[in-house]
Amino acid sequence: MQRRNFLNALAAVGALGSLPLSVSRSFAAGAAADQGRVAVNSGAVSVDQLPPLEGDLTLYLGRGEGGLYENVLEAIRKRNPGLNLQVRRGSTAALANSIVAEAKAGVRRADLFWAVDSGAIGLVADAGLARALPADLTGQLKSGFRYPRWAPVTGRIRTLPYNTERVTPEQIPDSVMALADSDLTLGWAPAYASFQSFVTAMRLLEGEKATADWLRGVSKHATSYAGELGVVMAVERGEVDLGFANHYYTLRLKNGKPDASVDLAFTRNDAGCLVNASGILALSEGDLPINFMRYLLSREVQSYLASEAYEIPLVSGVQPPQGLPPLGSISPPKVDLTELADLRPTLKLMRSVGVL
């Protein structure tokens, strides 16, 4: 879906001719009790079924996804002329720390926090600052992604992008831990937030010693890059056999270069195939923050982020990005994503073994 078409589709009702938004019968039936309520487990809802957003909101937005999140916000503004949306942008980790610091000072500047990493969400939620969400909202999300105080927006899978001319799938182990002792040349981005969340998951699943040993082993035959797009591009160029990266970098590269010499491999039941998520939480009371969150879970926004950002829709009834195996065919580990919040032990471990 192209950017202009997305903006027009999302803004079509309400922005043109000041037409009112249409609200479904099931939605309207519960409006007196909680405007915006939909049926539990109903899956994706069209923006046509959502109430207008009117009033002042301040959103703290973690940087990411090449401006695609900004496109979503622009479309929501265009559809809702009565919404005064102020956005503060920054790194996800820095914004999470700001929210906690502001709360300790008795100040609340943000109504919503949209983070590109669930670890930062966990930091704010653990501080007791996130409000409880209604069951109808969390019920739209797929099983395994329902949390009482935050809503995952889209998912991303840890993958092993490999060069198809240098490596066969049979040469790639299905255990990420085995790569420490393999003969494959590897690419990684140790300073990248997604990689550090992956190492945090490994630390929780495998323990400190095993993770330290893995980092030491991999560092002997790994080349470092500034980010995970750089890792995938290096794999495609043949600089290394295989890398560590979120799935969408490879899918985006292949979209622009269909004959690229790169494909995706997945490990099984370990941190190497962790499913992480971007997410949003509400910090202030009232219907407006919750109803804003509903727009991010709408069919139109979820479809846009799947088709343009190649992220995984976490609301039922929306097609996943092309080129990615069905989520049900992948075997990610069972990890409470909010447990990835505390990066301090991970950073300390990575520094102690010399990879940071």
What SS3 class is residue 112? strand
Ordered by start, the domain boundaries in the chain are 3-155+277-327, 156-274+330-352
Contact yes or no for 215/350 (Cβ under 8 A): yes
pLDDT, one tens digit for every residue, the chain (356 residues):
454 555 555 554 333 222 223 222 222 233 333 333 334 446 789 999 999 999 999 999 987 655 789 999 999 999 999 999 999 999 888 899 999 999 999 999 999 999 988 888 888 998 999 999 999 999 999 988 999 999 999 999 999 999 999 999 999 999 999 999 999 999 999 988 889 999 999 999 999 999 999 999 999 999 999 899 999 999 999 999 999 999 999 999 999 999 999 999 999 999 999 999 999 999 999 999 999 999 999 999 999 999 999 999 999 889 899 888 887 788 999 888 888 878 889 999 999 999 99
CB 151 within 8 Å of CB 207: no
CA angle 85, 117, 129 (to 5 degrees): 60
The answer to whether 236 and 260 are in contact (CB under 8 A) is yes
Q: Which of 47, 98, 79 is nearest to 293 (CA)?
A: 47
CA-based Rg of the chain, rounded to a whole angstrom?
A: 21
Assign domain 3-155+277-327 one CATH number from 1.50.10.10, 3.40.190.10, 3.20.20.10, 3.40.50.10860. 3.40.190.10
User: What is the crossing angle of helices 228-237 and 247-256, to 10°?
Assistant: 50
The architecture that CATH gives domain 156-274+330-352 is 3-Layer(aba) Sandwich (3.40)
DSSP string, 270-306: SGGG-EEEEEEEE-S-SHHHHHHHHHHTSHHHHHHHH
**Is there a common fold for 3-155+277-327 and 156-274+330-352?**
yes
> Could you give the CA distance from residue 356 to residue 347 in angstroms, rounded to a whole number?
8
